[in-house]
Structure formats: structure tokens, C-alpha cells
Amino acid sequence: MKLKKIAPHPQHEIRYILILAAIQIVNVIDFVIMMPLGPTLMDGLSITPPQFSTLISSYSFSGAIIGFIFGMFADKYDRKNLLIITMIGFIVTTLGCGLSNSFTTLLTMRTLTGVFAGTLTTIVFALVSDLIPFERRGKAMGIIMSSFSVASVLGVPLGLAIADATNWQNSFHFIVLISIPILLLIILTFPNVFIEKENETNMVKDLKVLFTKSKNTISFLLIFCVSGSMFLLIPFLSTYAVKNIEVDTTDLKWAYMVGGVFTIITSRIIGICTDKFGGFKVFFALVMFSTVPILWFTHSGPLSLSGFLALQTFFMTTVSGRLIPVMTLISEVPKPEERGLFMGMLNSVRALGRGIMTFLSGFVITTTATGKLIGYGTAGIISISIALITILFAYTIASKVSSQYQKVSI
């Protein structure tokens, strides 16, 4: 495979990186903002926990399916044109979310938005590899990966503030408004990126080979369970906070802002520890340590605002932090020539794990006549149980991967 018509000047690289990072920021805001809007949506649209979990999971399901399909033909077309078409679809469907006034309409729009959002993520990471030389690609990836923290600190709180001041639909209109300038920048400044394959490969054969390797299969099981264990709980964090911990809906934005700031700090620390002590050791420690905030949060009663902020920050930093050593471990699994297909499948499996567990959480968690959630503590115990099982998967991967950077003993 070789690239054609790609010769970005080094001074243009930062422009491309920042635009790609901006795409990821609006993408993350669009996904994450649904969860803190949970209490408002459940009351405003009169929907049940199973219906709310369906709203969240539909986004992940469609993203997982399209990620798998898109990987089969993504290299056949100009990436700039694919990016423009996908960005337009993302903007239109997000606008549709903002125009929705019923559960059915919103569900349809969220499912369609997930299709375009999942495709955007795939194109963004492909373009980083296409446009940025290997010697500078690590820094570029770091900027792109920081999008979640930036979205948590700035985008989600601002979107929630707009919802508090007006209505929940305007949170999606806000995403549309900040996405349109990004689309214009793509059209006006991005280069065309063509991929020419020297030898066409058999996708079915490649997939068969991929899944016959035990370390690949275990990696998929690991990311499915790690992502799934998180999303048994995350979609109902805000709803539980409002209904059971008795936090005001207008204070939820502070939880995401404070949690996002601390996540930026702890992610850096966890990354350094992973390099120093090995992915398995850090993952093992985080799984065990995260049981504390999970049990505490899912069984908590009324708290002061400061107590809630401290608890949710503790939860966010430890639970989400588990992904850093996991991805470090898994990155050592595929051979260079199969990495593209492997990572595409990994992202689809990760989204599938989010979708399935989010959907199931709606049937574990129910509401009382007064609106309080029950069963969240049970979901917390299930989440911890799944996380403990992932330790075995992580140990197996660390044992199979022969690398001087991975230390397996504990």
C-alpha cells in the first residue's frame, strides 16, 4: 500500500492536527452529553430506565456496526471527501436530535448519529497516520487523545449550562454550531488523501486469520469486558446523582468540569506508571483500587455538593484510567502488517461492549414511585465482578506478548 498526493508542509501539520482534534472534541461532546442529560430526558420525555439505556446503547451499536463495515472499503476513496460527507451527516443527524420531541424520534436520530460518529473516529485516526510522519506521530496522537478531557472540562459543562438556561434540545444545537466552522476548515484547508493498494487482499481471509490467533481473541474479550464494565454504570451516573444523591441538575456541569481536570492530571500519572511498572501491574492496581469508588457511589445516599464532586471525581479518574494500561498492553499484540484491521475490529468490539452493557443496565436498574433508582448497587457489583475477570485476560495477554516493556509478575 502506498500513499499518493500527500505532501503536507511541516508548518501545516499542526493545523491538520488541531482540526482533527476539534472533530474528536465535538464527537466526544455529542456522545457524553446524553448521560448528564439523563434526569432531564427521563422527566421531560417520560421515559423509563430501559428506554434511556436504549438511547445510549443505540449510538454505540450503530457505531460498532459501521466501524466494521467502513474498515472494508475506507482505503478505496479519498479520505478528505469521506471526512466531508461524514461530517455533514454528523451535523444533520445531531440537528435532528435537537429537533426531536419524542422518545422514538430521538432514538432514531441517536442511532443515525452513531453511524456518522463512529465513522468520524475511524477517519480521524487514519488521517493522523496518513498526514503525520512517524517520528512526530506520537505527539499528534497525544493531542488527538486529549479530546475527551477537553470535552469534559469545557464542552460538556457548556452544553449543560445551555440546557439549564433554555432546554435540552439546545445542547445539540450548540454542538451543531461549533461543528459547522470545523466542516468549513476541512473543506478549505485539508489536502486530498488517496490510498493505492499494490495488492488487493481478501478481507474474509484476513478476518479468519485475525480471529484464529488466541492472543487477538483474548484482546477483544478484554476490551469488550473493560468497556462493558464501565458502561454498566456510566450512563446512569447523573440520574443516580440527581434522584438518589439529591444533587441539583444545574450542578452536574461542575462534576464534569472538576472530573475532567483531574482526569487530565491522573491520566498523565497513570501513563508514566504504565511505562515504568508495566501495563499489567498498573491495570491490576487500578481494578482493585476502583472497587472502592464503585461500591461507594452505587450505594450512596444524599451527599453535599462537595462530597458528590469528590466521589464522582474519584470514580471518573480510577474507572476511566483502567483503559490506559489496557490499551498499552493490547498495542503490543498485533503485528505491524495487521495492525490496521486489528485496531478497526478492536474499536468495533469496544463500542459493542459499551452498547450491550448499557442496554442491559436498563433492565437491572429500575425506578421507584418517587423516581429514585433501585438496582444501581447490583449493577455496581456486577461491574466489579466483570472487572475482576478481566485481570485474567490481561495476565494472559501480558504473558503471551514477548516485550521488554511488559512486566507480568505482581
Q: Which of 357, 326, 375 is nearest to 229 (CA)?
A: 357
**How is 14-74 classified by DSSP, letter by letter?**
HHHHHHHHHHHHHHHHHHHTTTTTHHHHHHHTT--HHHHHHHHHHHHHHHHHHHHHHHHHG
Task: Return the ∠ at Cα 229 (arms to 363 and 368), rounded to 5°.
Answer: 30
Q: How many helices (H) and strands (E) does the chain have?
A: 18, 4
- What local confidence, expressed as pLDDT, does residue 273 receive? 86
pTM listed for this prediction = 0.78
Is the predicted pLDDT of residue 5 greater than 50, yes or no?
A: no
The strand pairing partners of 195, in sequence order, are 3
CB count in 10 Å sphere of residue 198: 6
Give residue 1's pLDDT band: very low, low, confident or very high (50, 70, 90).
very low
Least confident of 138-147, 163-172, 319-328, 388-397: 138-147
The answer to whether the beta carbons of residues 253 and 36 sit under 8 Å apart is yes
- Alpha carbon of residue 302 to chain centroid: 29
Which pairs from 319-322 meet CB under 8 Å and 24+ separation? 319/230, 319/233, 319/234, 319/290, 319/293, 319/294, 320/230, 320/263, 321/263, 321/266, 321/267, 321/270, 321/286, 321/290, 322/226, 322/230, 322/283, 322/286, 322/287, 322/290, 322/387
The whole-number pLDDT of residue 245 equals 95
With residue 270 as reference, give the H or E element that holds it: helix 252-277
pLDDT single digits (tens) 276-312: 888 899 999 999 999 999 999 999 999 999 999 999 9
Q: Where are the alpha helices (DSSP H) in 299-375?
A: 305-321, 323-331, 339-364
pLDDT at 196 over 70: no
Residues 298 and 311 sit within 8 Å (Cβ to Cβ): no
**Which three cell numbers mark 318?**
480510577
Q: What is the CATH number of domain 201-410?
A: 1.20.1250.20
Non-local (6+) Cβ contacts of 48 within 8 A are 42, 362, 366, 367
With beta carbons less than 8 A apart as the criterion, state whether 157 and 256 touch: yes
User: Which pLDDT tens digit goes with each residue over 208-242?
Assistant: 777 788 888 999 999 999 999 999 998 899 899 99
Of 129-133, 250-254, 369-373, which range is least confident?
129-133
Band of the pLDDT at 72, cuts 50, 70, 90? low
**Beta partners for residue 196, in sequence order:** 2
Q: How far is CA 116 from CA 59, 65, 158, 340, in A?
A: 10, 11, 23, 20
pLDDT at 129: 67
Retrieve residue 331's grid coordinates: 498495542
- Rounded to the nearest angstrom, the gap between the alpha carbon of residue 130 and the centroid of all alpha carbons in its chain is 22
Q: Is 122's pLDDT higher than 80?
A: no
Contacts of 102 (CB under 8 A, 6+ apart): 45
Asked whether the domain spanning 201-410 has the same topology as the one spanning 1-200, the reply is yes
- In the chain, what are the domain boundaries? 1-200, 201-410
Third-level CATH fold of 1-200: Growth Hormone; Chain: A; (1.20.1250)
